[in-house]
Amino acid sequence: MKDEIIKILQKTVEPLGIAAISVALDFPENAEHGDYTSNVAMTNAKRLGLKPVELATKIVADFDKLVNKSSLKGLIKSVAVAGPGFINFTLTAEAVSKNVQEISKELNGSEGSKGQISNIGAGKKVLIEYSSPNIAKPFTVGHLRSTIIGDSIARILSATGYSVIRDNHLGDWGTQFGKLLVAIEKWGDEFGGLDGIKKSENPIKILVDLYVKFHDEVAIMEDSEDEKLKTEAEELVTLARVKSKILESGKDPIISEIWKVCVDLSMHEFALIYKRLGVSFDPKRGDTQIGESFFVTPYKINPVRDALNAKNLLKDSEGAKVVFFGSEDPKLWKLPPLIVEKSDGTSIYATRDLAADLYRINTYGKGLILINEVGAEQNLYFKQLIETETMLGWFTKGQRLHIAHGLYRFKDGKMSTRKGKVIWLGDILDEAVTRASKINADSANDVAVAAIKFNDLKRDSIQDIVFDWDEMMNMTGDSGPYLQYSCVRARAVVEKAKGLGISADTSGARPNIPQLDLLERYLLRFTHTVEFAGASYKPNVIANYLINLASLFNSFYAQVTIADKDSVTGAGSQDSGAAYKVAVTQVFADVLERGLDLLGIKVPEKM
Ligand code: ARG
């Protein structure tokens, strides 16, 4: 309907000298201002030498004439000029009703098309990289945010017709492995060696402890007065460097084997976390979990070096190879230079990213849209990386994005100090489940996950989050559990009506109830809200829509009898519209459930 109005509006304004592409429709903030609004008169009036209101009035008159000759005849109740020159469109009750049923049909559509909300992304391929935790390190709350946001964007893009590749870019390489290898060799026996670590209850924790121990011990030795200890510290650091070089060469089977064990242990741990979160990287769907290690071979790195050299981008700087931006003169730098090769010739984070992105273009084609969801602490790095890739001609504007997320802050200090400095995600999930089981013992995991995910997705990803259990679990405010509950409640209304012999049906008269009218009109915004969320890569657009939607339903539910036994006997005052109200309630539940699914949130059967 929205698209049809845009078409007619375009036809209206073109003869007035206004380009069709400048015509857009927005949703008014205030429902009293109608269903759609356009600022086309305000943006074009000056150029045409008119006052915005004058131009708007002219457009409205012409629009009315065209509409009456179109398929929209009888479906638009009013077109009015408002404020400084807005044009507001209000649909008739009949149009609203018809369109609400359309949504319901689409959501419950034929098998195969089910789940598809729009096809604005048809023909476009996007690779979204997210989660990307590090091997033998804790899965941090930063990785949690990346997982939640990335998974939701992938769901939204795929529901709007894009072909989506989900990629988990595991951090399984880098100098930290050298340190870990030294630590395992030196102190691993305390835990029964590698075998003992493998069999222990929490192997990753031991690996992390060993890694931390390496740093602590080296720091103590470096600080000591004893020259012998100072030398020993230096030796350990050198040894770690040598080990990571040997690992990279692949020439020592024992070192490679230890590394492989660490990878397997970590992958096992990550798989458990993804399962709890309802997130998956499914090869059958075309998803990949390729670690950085995949990109360290000369076979992958050399083409990157060649490409950089071909464009004369690789410059020597203190033994390393770097890319400059704008100028080699520090005063004229657009960005600080990016190191792509260390002086010892080993690869670095950036080299592996360039190799990964070249591999992705070669695998998925040059039109690929490539997104990394990674914390804001890597903002500068991603600017450098994307700028380099743009200079290489790999991507054009809009095709290469870094979506950043802010930090987690802990209001309740307890969570961060209980087990040392590291915040273990498993502990957060356990705590969430404990709290959620007070809300819903049968589906505690689903409620816990909803609380954590919604708390993240309701805000712009770049914002920091203050971790506040009460806010997350709030059953009356803007929380995941509140939305789950709203959906379950709506389903219960439909079930109860069914028990009374009233089933959803819109063929009868549409009852004239303001709360119902508002709810239906808001339901109409669903498709475009999802499209907008996809086009702007912002799940919070959907999250906020769902909160408003649920609150409209909840006032309808609180103030209007939807269906009770009087509706059947005809004794009640609301009887005529019961079937209609039940139908809208059902569409509401369907839309809410689908919207939550786009956020990666499941709705329990009962609550
Ligand atoms: N593993 C990295 C980390 O934990 C994130 C990887 C981000 N992705 C990338 N292509 N660099 O910090």
**Spacing, Cα 132 to ligand 1 middle (Å):** 6
**Spacing, Cα 517 to ligand 1 middle (Å):** 48
Residue in this structure with the two tokens 């089933």, named with its chain if needed: 503
Asked if 542 contacts 599 with a C-beta cutoff of 8 angstroms, the reply is: yes
Residue spans of beta strands (DSSP E) within 332-479: 335-341, 369-373, 400-403, 408-410, 465-467
**Rounded Cα gap, residues 101 and 334, in angstroms:** 54
**Rounded Cα gap, residues 506 and 592, in angstroms:** 20
Going from N- to C-terminal start, the domains of the chain cover 2-91, 175-410, 480-598
**Long-range contacts of the stretch 359-368 (C-beta < 8 A, 24+):** 359/295, 359/300, 360/127, 360/167, 361/394, 364/125, 364/127, 364/165, 365/125, 367/124, 367/125, 367/399, 368/125, 368/126, 368/127, 368/399
**Spacing, Cα 451 to ligand 1 middle (Å):** 26
Tokens of 258: 């230890």
Tokens of 500: 């009374």
**Rounded Cα gap, residues 442 and 433, in angstroms:** 11
What number does the ligand 1 atom closest to the CA of 382 have? Answer: 11
**Spacing, Cα 372 to ligand 1 middle (Å):** 9
What number does the ligand 1 atom closest to the CA of 378 have? Answer: 12
pLDDT at 569: 56
Question: Ligand 1: which of 378, 379, 400 to mutate, judged by most atoms within 8 Å of the beta carbon?
Answer: 378
**Start-to-end CA span in the chain (Å):** 36
DSSP single-letter state for residue 194: H
pLDDT at 568: 66
**Rounded Cα gap, residues 10 and 22, in angstroms:** 9
What number does the ligand 1 atom closest to the CA of 143 have? Answer: 4
Strands 369-373 and 36-38: what pairing? unpaired
Tokens of 165: 């590749």
- Of the candidates 188, 100, 99, the residue with the CA atom closest to the CA atom of residue 136: 188
* Count of beta carbons in the 10 Å neighbourhood of residue 51: 13
**Bridge partners (DSSP) listed for residue 163:** 125
Question: Ligand 1: which of 168, 292, 374, 379 to mutate, judged by most atoms within 8 Å of the beta carbon?
Answer: 374
The second-level CATH assignment, the architecture, of 2-91 is: 2-Layer Sandwich (3.30)
Backbone angles phi, psi at 605, to 5 degrees: -65, -45
Query: Pocket residues for ligand 1 (CB within 6 Å)?
Result: 129, 132, 134, 169, 171, 353, 372, 374
DSSP single-letter state for residue 136: T
pLDDT at 417: 37
Question: Ligand 1: which of 127, 132, 137, 385 to mutate, judged by most atoms within 8 Å of the beta carbon?
Answer: 132
Residue numbers in the chain where pLDDT is lower than 70: 109-115, 411-421, 568-576
CA angle at 539 for the pair 537 and 541, rounded to the nearest 5°: 100
- Of the candidates 500, 520, 492, 501, the residue with the CA atom closest to the CA atom of residue 581: 520
Residue in this structure with the two tokens 């712009």, named with its chain if needed: 460
pLDDT at 477: 86
Nearest CA to ligand 1 atom 6: 132
Asked if 382 contacts 129 with a C-beta cutoff of 8 angstroms, the reply is: no
Residue type, 143: H
Nearest CA to ligand 1 atom 11: 353
- CATH of span 480-598: 1.10.730.10
What number does the ligand 1 atom closest to the CA of 140 have? Answer: 4
**Bridge partners (DSSP) listed for residue 322:** 315, 339
- Of the candidates 501, 36, 47, 512, the residue with the CA atom closest to the CA atom of residue 13: 47
User: What is 175-410's CATH number, 1.20.200.10, 3.40.50.620, 3.40.50.20, 3.40.50.1370?
Assistant: 3.40.50.620
What number does the ligand 1 atom closest to the CA of 142 have? Answer: 4
Sequence-ordered alpha helix ranges (H) in 108-175: 141-159
Nearest CA to ligand 1 atom 4: 133
Nearest CA to ligand 1 atom 1: 171
